[in-house]
Amino acid sequence: MLRRRFLQLGAVSLLTAGCRERPPATSTSTTARRAKIRAIAFDLFTLFDPTTVARVAERVLPGRGVAFCETWRVRQFEYSWIRSSAGQYRDFRAVTEEALSYAAEVHDVVLTDEARATLLGAYEELEPWPDTRPTLEAFKRAGLALAPLANFTPTMIERLLRRGGLRDLFDHVISTDRARTFKPDPRAYALGPQVFGLARESIAFSAFGGWDAAGARWFGYPTFWVNRLGQPTEHLAPGPDATGTTLGDLAAWLDRHAA
């Protein structure tokens, strides 16, 4: 049982949650889908801490990095969705650089080539969450196939996984670049069944953002929202099957799903 395998992860989960008591995972679906889960597709930010980028931005732009990074992040998502809906695809690194140029103009910042490279490179140098490796190892022992399913380019994903020492734990690397689109386009989520060779009902999706949880659930994945940053619930019905704050919560939900 996954539950037993994850008892050892309790201390690690507490590190992720900080000093506050962690709320239990809560179910948000009215009917349980009971197809056997054979694989998990992960949004990268459920595995890596995206706030790493803000810390890098603060080093490059002392006192201004957090606000700069927020503008950059919002425009990054907007550009990816605009390009997807308009059929004007450019890969995630290119979109990220376009959004970076926009943020620099908004904040009246002149970025040197070195600063620009440092900021863009931050997305390939994210720090894994403390519970990431031990939880992935437990999933592998349980016989589950694993893959990130992310908007990052294939090169970005590979560099990030190798730098984090996690590449050996994944059976596949799935970039939405393969479909020339971005999540939450159904064509992006459809890469999971294609690559795993499994029905969507047999692939659990681990989402970091509420919008991604909604998109994955709409596609038909059994979906768990790993809400690490305690974001408000999105009003995008139907929402994820369940939500929690750590990968340990995801494991407990999978255990209940299999019961």
Alpha-carbon distances, residue 157 vs 27, 119, 129, 147, 244 (angstroms): 30, 16, 16, 11, 25
> DSSP letters along 73-130, please?
HHHHHHHHHHHHHHT----HHHHHHHHHHHHHHHTT----HHHHHHHHHGGGSPEEPT
Phi, psi for 207 (deg, rounded to 5): -100, 145
In whole angstroms, give the CA distance from residue 159 to residue 149: 15
**Who's near 88: CB < 8 A, 6+ residues apart?**
82
Q: What is the DSSP letter of 183?
A: T
Residue 177 is a catalytic residue: no
CB-count burial class (<10 Å; 0-12, 13-18, 19+) for 6: buried
Is residue 80 within 8 Å of residue 99, measured between CB atoms? no
Report which of 180, 161, 163, 181 is spatially closest to residue 171, judged by C-alpha positions.
161
**How far apart, in whole angstroms, are the C-alpha atoms of residue 174 and residue 64?**
34
Query: Catalytic residues, which ones?
Result: 43
